[in-house]
Chain A
């Protein structure tokens, strides 16, 4: 699409065999970089974004004109210090920020792929992004980092490429998507599909957008990123620009108004089909599947030093699921640290200004980097 013509991308020529059986090649992978690659090429970090993120992790997103999604953590002097490290962030395949996705034009039909786009997986996303190492001629990454779906990609990356990352920080994630999370994703997908404008996924051809369905999906998902305590403290039963209840279905409460706003701004920046494809990839994620249910086996060949982080109020990817990864690594004597950060900001904690979290990332990276010097 034309709005993406000025963003950085590589065209991956090599065929990539997807888990679904299809093979893709000559596909675009949009990326952004922060900081400078040093001459030893030992300061590179690959970060992976979550469901609705993109390659614009810091600074101003040139498409949305908003701050990058990880502006608190990434930048000069920040936890992931771009004065020290060279950070690469790519848009996942299936996404809608310039990488190969369902809104791209199918060269055979000259129409957007829509739901003819192949179903992709976390494994496919990671294998696509691996091409960036070759593009930048990086033999070994200093670190791979990501939260939520980004954390799943971290785990998959280390499992697929056991000698390509010195350290790894999976944050607020899981090795195997839970029934609850599949259910919540299905709720979002059904909301999109129930919108008459969705047109079985071929809405672009008809100049339609399933905005209502996508907005409701976002509203539901947004609740899951917060915590009960956090919501109560921020909104309670506060009313929205009114003195009393209106006995109607307007947004009487501030929380209603807030969610409606979150839904409405989301549809301006995100593609409904991408939402279907990416949530599907998350649901299909089960790193233990290939290893007979034994997560340790996924990391057997790895020499990566792990640091795993969870948050007390995250009920979407709770501490117990993060701890399962720690247990699997300890069981095979791998080097792993783990902290559960106290925060009432829910799953979203990793995106927000949570000083204990940011300091933890900073300290782990800086100490690990000092040790290679």
Chain B
């Protein structure tokens, strides 16, 4: 399993009620389900990924986070997880608001466009950065709204979203990924 998932899993409490938005093939859900809380379910857009979740015996709702989060009532989950998907939404601001509405806490991870490798790539090659975490070319990337850890922190500050816990190992220059626990 990805190191990111271990780090996210460490942030949720035992037996809490969790929603994994854009749960992919269910890898993180499976780990949490087996080790931390059975009360976890996911939303996933891709049919093949939904089937992979079903194969793992996980509760999954086939759907589109941009449209379908609105059906959940306020504070219906202890944690809502969004792993490396925020930048791919048409309207990430709306999704973020929805996460904070339906979850008491939101755990959001973002690929950091401010990482030194990304900066050097653009500086020296003059082409759009392609790295391990950002493997696509400019013409086929699903990432519509790339940001840096610093951008995200600024965003939260402006909107008075509390960054409850920021994993201190992450840093705008040295971290490929930022993981944040957010509260209204």
Contacts and interface: CB of A to CB of B under 8 A. Distances in A.
Interface of A: 305, 307, 323, 326-327, 330-333, 335-340, 342, 356, 359-360, 363-364, 366-367, 370-371
Contact of A330 (B38, B47, B71): B71
Interface in B36-56: 38, 41, 47, 50-51, 54-56
B54 A363 contact: yes
B100 interface: no
A338 B41 contact: no
A356 B51 contact: yes
B27 interface: no
A332 B73 contact: yes
A339 B71 contact: no
A310 B75 CA distance: 28
Contacts of B76: 333
A199 to B, nearest CB: 49
Interface residues on B, range: 20 to 34
B62 A367 contact: no
A363 B72 contact: no
Q: Which 10 A-B pairs have the closest CB atoms?
A: A367-B57, A337-B59, A330-B71, A327-B71, A338-B61, A333-B76, A339-B62, A360-B54, A363-B54, A330-B72
Given A331-B71, A337-B41, A339-B51, 8 more contacts: A307-B59, A336-B59, A338-B62, A338-B63, A339-B54, A340-B47, A340-B62, A363-B57
Contacts of A359: 51, 54-55
Contacts of A339: 47, 50-51, 54, 60, 62
A370 B62 CA distance: 23
A364 B57 contact: yes
B76 to A, nearest CB: 5
Nearest to B57: A367
Interface of B: 38, 41, 47, 50-51, 54-63, 68, 71-73, 76
Contacts of B41: 335, 337
Contact of B72 (A333, A360, A366, A370): A333
A312 to B, nearest CB: 9
Contacts of A326: 61, 63, 71
14 contacts: A326-B71, A327-B71, A331-B71, A333-B73, A335-B41, A335-B59, A336-B61, A338-B60, A342-B47, A359-B55, A360-B51, A363-B55, A363-B56, A367-B57
Contact of B73 (A331, A337, A342): A331
Interface residues of A, dominant DSSP:
helix
Nearest to B51: A356
B55 A331 contact: no
Contacts of A331: 71-73
Nearest to A323: B63
Contacts of B71: 326-327, 330-331
A290 B83 CA distance: 41
Contacts of B73: 331-333
Given A332-B73, A342-B47, A356-B51, A337 B38 contact: no
A327 B68 CA distance: 8
Contacts of B38: 371
A339 to B, nearest CB: 5
A44 B51 CA distance: 26
A339 B56 CA distance: 14
Residue of A327, A330, A367 most packed against chain B (CB within 10 A): A330
A13 B72 CA distance: 44
A334 B62 CA distance: 16
Contacts of A333: 72-73, 76
Given A335-B41, A336-B61, A337-B61, A364 B54 contact: yes
A363 B47 CA distance: 16
Nearest to B63: A338
Contacts of B63: 323, 326, 338
B22 to A, nearest CB: 15
Nearest to A340: B62
A53 to B, nearest CB: 25
B155 to A, nearest CB: 28
Contacts of B61: 326, 330, 336-338
B184 to A, nearest CB: 19
